[in-house]
A and B are shown apart, each in its own frame.
Chain A
Amino acid sequence: MIAIFHNYGSLLLQGFGQTLLCSVIALIFSLIIGSMFAIFETTPSKFLRVIARIYIEVFRNIPLLVITMFFFVVIPMFVAKINGFTAGTIGLTIYTSAFIAETVRSGINSVDPGQMEGARANGLSWWQAMRYVVLPQAFRYVIPPLGNQFINLVKNSSVLAFVAGFDLMYQGNVIASDSLNTMSTYICIGILYLIITLPLSYWMRYLEKKLA
């Protein structure tokens, strides 16, 4: 195992960087898209609610791999050539945003409806009340589940291995087939994933306890 870290250090580091990079990019965009659909779901407009419901249900019930492969295989045929990293990150963003939308929506619903009514009665528009009164309270509730979504995102980023995204899992396969020492390689890769996910998961558990 030490030999693997020693011989393939630069590959591992590159993979680690790519995994982290695509997770952070996907997190930022899926937070924006997810929050948008969560707000759509709570608007008074029936049209927006239906749109949001369809988006969430469709992408929650289709495997991430199918979405990612769609962007890797189908989009280059009709639209534009994109590389594996981009296809993987777009797939991850779309998939995760559906889960984040569901999380944020439950956060918004857990805010006392009196808050919205009070804000409206004080003369704020619906959007102002949402933006300045409801959302700040909702986000406090959803921080632990959002953290768990980020952990899932880091784990799910391993699908980049399917589309040559040069992430940790991809480099792991390269190293495994080069060194022929599959067992130790996968243990090394596992340790690198745990460096990201394990502290986050303990931190989220601590936050959950503190907020409860």
Chain B
Amino acid sequence: MKDFIDAYSWINIHYLLQGLWITVIVSVVSILGSYILGSILGIIRYVNIKVVSPIVGLFIDIIRNLPLLLIIFFTYFGLPNLGFRPSSVWATILAMTVFESTMIAEIVRSGIAAVDPGQMEGARANGLTYGQAMYHVILPQAMKKMIPALVSQFISLIKDTSLATIIVLPDLMHNAQIVYGQNSTYILPMFLMIAIMYFIVCYALSLLSRSLDRRMS
């Protein structure tokens, strides 16, 4: 019991919260970036532009099927071979954005494909151009279907930021390792604490998605 009280001194908790803050910041930036890039890639893949769409499709399939850890390594240790040397924060954001945007592209594509094709035909028959029909009719309906899948993807993004510990991103996992590295009696309390912190953030997001889903349907 004394271990727990010692381990949860304000200095340690404060240090963990700093890590949590980095985790949240990196996640939010990556979520925004991958949402924008992913939507663009998904739409390009759906609308079937000659030459461009198959190339985008191949890119998506390749990145999607690689481990995120490999992409993080590639960005941080591989790209310097080409003369581009990002800091660990930017390398994480870049790797996460590229990887997650391909996941989101697939969600967007299947979301659009799940909208009844009659909607598009109806909108076109009423005089809307393809772009207008897409923007005003198809995408809002696809959006509703995509929300649960999107949010669970964002949750796994938050969890996956912990992988960036390996390139010394000062996130929650990394800071916890530093704290328990000082004193081995802190190991169990630290694991418990970071598990609770990750759980709170991710579970709150999944509750939010459930309530959004209920309100929209």
A residues contacting B by CB (< 8 A) are: 57-58, 60-66, 69-70, 73-74, 77, 151, 154-159, 161-162, 169, 172-173, 176, 181-183, 186-187, 189-190, 193-194, 197-198, 201-202
CB <8 Å contact, A155 and B67: yes
State how many angstroms separate the Cβ of B144 from the closest Cβ of chain A. Answer: 19
Digit string of B174-217 for contact with A (CB within 8 Å is 1, else 0)?
00000010001001100100110011001100100000000000
Subset of 11 A-B contacts with CB under 8 Å:
A62-B159, A63-B159, A63-B160, A65-B165, A69-B191, A77-B187, A169-B69, A172-B70, A186-B70, A194-B62, A194-B66
Interface: B146 (CB within 8 A): no
A190 to B75, CA, bound (A): 13
Main secondary structure of the interface of B (DSSP, over half): helix
What's the nearest-Cβ distance from chain B to residue A29, in Å?
A: 20
Q: Closest approach, in angstroms, between the C-beta of B75 and any C-beta of chain A? A: 10
Write the nearest CB–CB distance from A112 to chain B, whole angstroms.
21
Partner of B66, one of A61, A63, A155: A155
- Chain B minimum-CB-distance residue to A64: B159
For A70, the chain B residues whose CB sits under 8 A away are 191, 195
Q: B residues within 8 A CB of A69?
A: 173, 191
Identify which of residues 30-76 in chain B touch chain A, using a CB-to-CB cut-off of 8 Å.
Answer: 61-62, 64-70, 73-74
What's the least CB distance linking A113 to chain B, in Å?
A: 20
CB <8 Å contact, B206 and A65: no
B159 touches A186 (CB 8 A): no
| Distance between B190 CB and nearest chain A CB, rounded to angstroms | 10
Q: Which residue from chain B places its CB closest to the CB of A208 in the assembled complex?
A: B110
B184 neighbours in A (Cβ, 8 Å) = 77
Residue of A nearest to B177 (CB): A69
**Extra contacts besides A186-B78, A193-B70 (16): CB < 8 Å:** A60-B206, A61-B199, A66-B195, A69-B173, A77-B184, A151-B65, A155-B65, A157-B67, A169-B70, A176-B77, A182-B80, A182-B81, A183-B81, A186-B73, A190-B66, A193-B66
Among A62, A154, A169, the residue within 8 A (CB) of B199 is: A62
The answer to whether A197 touches B65, judged by C-beta atoms less than 8 angstroms apart, is yes
Residue of A nearest to B188 (CB): A74
Bound Cα distance A169, B72 (Å): 12
Task: Tally the A-B contacts, defined by beta carbons under 8 Å.
Answer: 111
Chain A residues within an 8 Å CB radius of B180: 73
Q: Name which of B68, B73, B191, B199 has the most chain A CB atoms within 10 A of its CB.
A: B73
Residues of B within 8 A of A (CB): 61-62, 64-70, 73-74, 77-82, 155, 159-160, 162-163, 165-166, 173, 180, 184, 187-188, 191, 194-195, 198-199, 202-203, 206
Q: Are B70 and A189 in contact (CB under 8 A)?
A: yes
- Given the interface contacts A61-B206, A62-B159, does A161 sit within 8 Å of B77 by beta carbon? no
Q: How far is the CB of A162 from chain B (nearest CB, A)?
A: 7
Q: Which residues of B contact A155 (CB under 8 A)?
A: 65-68
Complex: chain A residue closest to B80, CB-CB: A182
Smallest CB–CB gap between A123 and chain B, Å?
38
B31 CB to nearest A CB, Å: 16
The 4 closest A-B pairs by CB, nearest first: A197-B65, A61-B202, A158-B67, A63-B159
- How far apart are the CA atoms of A48 and B203 in the complex, in Å? 21
Once the chains bind, are B78 and A159 in contact (CB under 8 Å)? Answer: no
User: What's the minimum C-beta distance from B160 to chain A, rounded to whole angstroms?
Assistant: 7
Which residues of chain A come closer than 8 Å to B66, judged between CB atoms? 155, 190, 193-194, 197
Asked whether, in the complex, the Cβ of B191 is within 8 Å of the Cβ of A65, the reply is: no
Residues of A within 8 A of B82 (CB): 183
The answer to whether A57 touches B203 (Cβ under 8 A) is: yes
Bound-complex Cα distance A189 to B194 (A):
31
For the complex, what is the distance from the CA of A156 to the CA of B162, rounded to whole Å?
A: 13
